[in-house]
C-alpha cells in the first residue's frame, strides 16, 4: 500500500488522481489532500478518502473546514494544517510515499522542493516549479535521492518512449531530439486581430482537454508549450536546440522521441490525464485507467504542422529565456502568471499577455542572467518580475 499526497486535490489534476485512487484502493491510500480555499469539495473528498492530513492554505478556509469536520461523524481522524508552511510540512510526512504535484503556479514550488529534499517520488504536473527553479530542483532531488516522474502528458509520453533509458535529471542515451506535440489551442486557426480581443470564455474553451483556467489560457497563448519546452530541458537534460514543437490538432500523439539511428517512437492515447497519472503512479508496472480506448476501426487522421511563431510569440520567448539561462525562465513564468491572472480578471485583453511577458523579460534582462543560488534569491527576482508586470498592466488598464 502506497501513501499518496494529492497536492491541489480539488483541481483538475487532483480530481483525476483521486479517481485513480478510488479505482485502486488496494494499492493506494490518500494520506494528504491540499487545496487553497474550496471547503465544500474538500469536505466531500475527506468523507470519501479519509486522509490523515488536509492542508487548506487559506486560513479562513482551514478554520471553516475544521469546524465542519468536528461536526461530521466521520471527521475525527483528519488533521487540518494551513498556510504555505502547511504544504511544506505535509510534503515530508513519513506516511507520504509519493506526491502528486498538482498545485497551479509558483505556489507549488516550496512543497515540491521539500519533497525532493525528503527523497519522495514526485509525480510532477506543476510545470511552473521546474520552469522557475530547474537547477534548485535538480540539486534537491540529487541530494534527497528523489525520483521525479513527469505527469504532464507530453513529458510522460517521452518518459514512456525512453523506457529504461529514463534517468531522472540525466541525459538519455542515443536521443537525437524530442518532439513535443501541441494541440495549437482554441485559436490555432484564428487571425491575429480576432485573437487579440478574444474573450475569457473563448480562451478557456480548449478543443481537446478539460483543464484548470490558468493552463487553458496558457494553451491558448501557446505559452504552455513554451513552459513545457523549459520543463523538458530540465527533465531530460537536453539542450533547447534538441527540443522541437510540432502542432498536432487531434491530441492523440502526446509526444515523440527521435533516436540517433533515425527511429522515432511516439506514445498515443485519448486526451485524458488519468492515463499519464496512472502510468507514473504505478511505474514500473501498469494499472487500469478509465480513459477512452482509441478506435482504430473508424477513419482517423493524425495531422502535424509547424507552429505559427508570428501569431504565437510565446515559443520564441521561452527559447530566448532558456538561452539567457539564470533566472530568465523564472521571470518569464512570473510575468506570465501575472498576465494570465489579469486577463482572467478582464483587466487586459488576450493579445496583451504576450507584450507583458516580453517587456518584463526585457526590463530584467541584466539581473535575470545570473543563476539564483537559493530559493530566497529566486523568490526575490520572481517578486521583482511580478511588480514590473503589474506596473505594465496598470498602465494598460488605467
Determine which helix (DSSP H) or strand (DSSP E) holds 169, and give its type and residue range.
none
Q: Three-class SS of residue 350?
A: coil
* Closer to Mg ion by Cβ: residue 228 or 341: 228
- The pairing of beta strand 253-259 with beta strand 175-182: antiparallel
Residue nearest to Mg ion (CB): 152
Please report how close the Cβ of residue 76 comes to Mg ion at its closest, in angstroms: 40
Q: Which stretches of 168-212 are DSSP H helices?
A: 192-196, 200-203
Please report how close the Cβ of residue 275 comes to ligand NAD at its closest, in angstroms: 11
Please report how close the Cβ of residue 182 comes to Mg ion at its closest, in angstroms: 9
* Closer to Mg ion by Cβ: residue 153 or 336: 153
Distance of alpha carbon 338 from the chain centroid: 16
Residue 43 within binding range of ligand NAD, rule CB under 6 A: no
Residue 102 within binding range of ligand NAD, rule CB under 6 A: yes
The separation between the first and the last C-alpha atoms of the chain, rounded to the nearest angstrom, is 55
Q: Judged by CB under 6 A, which of 18, 39, 51, 57 binds ligand NAD?
A: 57
Cβ–Cβ contacts within 10 Å for residue 366, how many?
7
Name the one range near ligand NAD by CB under 6 A: 120-128, 247-255, 323-331, 355-363: 120-128
Q: CB under 8 Å to 78, separation ≥6 — which residues?
A: 46, 50, 51, 52, 53, 54, 69
Residue 190 within binding range of ligand NAD, rule CB under 6 A: no
Residues 21-40 that bind Mg ion (CB under 5 A): none
Q: 196 near 354, Cβ under 8 Å?
A: no
Determine which helix (DSSP H) or strand (DSSP E) holds 253, and give its type and residue range.
strand 253-259
* Closer to Mg ion by Cβ: residue 181 or 356: 181
* Closer to Mg ion by Cβ: residue 137 or 232: 232
Compute the distance between CA of residue 259 and CA of residue 267 in angstroms, rounded to an integer.
14
Residue 121 within binding range of ligand NAD, rule CB under 6 A: no
Cell representation of residue 202: 473563448
Q: Judged by CB under 6 A, which of 88, 107, 179, 357 binds ligand NAD?
A: 107
CA-only gyration radius of the chain, Å: 20
Residue 14 within binding range of ligand NAD, rule CB under 6 A: yes
Name the one range near Mg ion by CB under 5 A: 148-156, 243-251, 320-328, 356-364: 148-156
Compute the distance between CA of residue 364 and CA of residue 372 in angstroms, rounded to an integer.
14
Q: Judged by CB under 5 A, which of 31, 128, 152, 352 binds Mg ion?
A: 152
Residue nearest to ligand NAD (CB): 11
Residues making contact with ligand NAD (CB under 6 A): 8-14, 35-36, 38, 57, 102-104, 107, 125-128, 152, 209, 211-212, 214-215, 273
Amino acid at each position: 500500500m502506497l501513501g499518496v499526497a494529492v497536492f491541489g486535490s480539488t483541481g483538475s489534476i487532483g480530481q483525476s488522481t483521486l479517481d485513480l485512487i478510488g479505482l485502486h484502493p488496494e494499492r493506494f491510500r490518500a494520506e494528504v489532500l491540499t487545496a487553497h480555499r474550496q471547503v465544500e469539495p474538500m469536505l466531500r473528498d475527506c468523507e470519501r478518502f479519509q486522509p490523515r492530513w488536509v492542508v487548506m492554505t487559506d486560513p479562513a478556509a482551514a478554520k471553516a473546514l475544521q469546524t465542519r469536520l468536528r461536526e461530521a461523524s466521520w471527521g475525527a481522524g483528519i488533521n487540518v494544517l494551513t498556510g504555505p508552511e502547511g504544504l511544506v510540512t505535509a510534503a515530508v510526512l513519513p506516511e507520504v510515499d509519493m506526491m502528486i504535484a498538482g498545485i497551479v503556479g509558483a505556489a507549488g514550488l516550496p512543497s515540491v522542493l521539500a519533497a525532493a529534499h525528503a527523497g519522495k517520488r514526485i509525480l510532477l504536473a506543476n510545470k511552473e516549479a521546474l520552469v522557475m527553479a530547474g537547477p534548485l530542483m535538480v540539486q534537491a532531488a540529487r541530494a534527497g535521492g528523489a525520483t521525479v516522474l513527469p505527469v504532464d502528458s507530453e513529458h510522460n509520453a517521452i518518459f514512456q518512449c525512453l523506457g529504461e533509458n529514463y534517468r531522472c535529471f540525466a541525459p538519455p542515451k542515443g536521443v537525437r531530439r524530442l518532439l513535443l506535440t501541441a494541440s495549437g489551442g482554441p485559436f490555432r486557426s484564428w487571425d491575429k486581430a480576432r485573437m487579440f480581443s478574444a474573450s475569457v470564455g473563448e480562451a478557456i474553451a480548449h478543443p481537446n482537454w478539460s483543464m484548470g483556467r490558468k493552463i487553458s489560457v496558457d494553451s491558448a497563448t501557446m505559452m504552455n508549450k513554451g513552459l513545457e519546452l523549459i520543463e523538458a530541458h530540465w527533465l531530460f537534460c537536453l539542450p533547447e536546440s534538441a527540443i522541437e514543437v510540432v502542432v498536432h490538432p487531434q491530441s492523440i500523439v502526446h509526444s515523440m522521441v527521435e533516436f540517433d539511428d533515425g527511429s522515432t517512437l511516439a506514445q498515443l492515447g485519448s486526451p485524458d490525464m488519468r492515463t499519464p497519472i496512472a502510468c507514473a503512479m504505478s511505474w514500473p508496472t501498469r494499472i487500469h485507467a478509465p480513459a477512452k480506448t482509441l478506435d482504430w476501426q473508424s477513419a482517423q487522421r493524425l495531422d502535424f504542422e509547424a507552429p505559427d511563431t508570428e501569431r504565437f510569440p510565446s515559443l520564441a520567448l521561452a527559447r530566448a529565456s532558456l538561452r539567457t539561462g539564470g533566472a530568465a525562465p523564472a521571470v518569464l513564468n512570473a510575468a506570465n502568471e501575472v498576465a494570465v491572472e489579469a486577463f482572467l480578471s478582464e483587466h487586459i485583453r488576450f493579445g496583451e499577455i504576450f507584450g507583458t511577458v516580453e517587456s518584463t523579460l526585457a526590463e530584467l534582462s541584466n539581473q535575470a542572467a545570473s543563476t539564483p543560488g537559493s530559493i530566497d534569491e529566486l523568490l526575490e527576482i520572481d517578486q521583482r518580475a511580478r511588480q514590473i508586470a503589474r506596473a505594465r498592466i496598470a498602465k494598460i488598464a488605467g
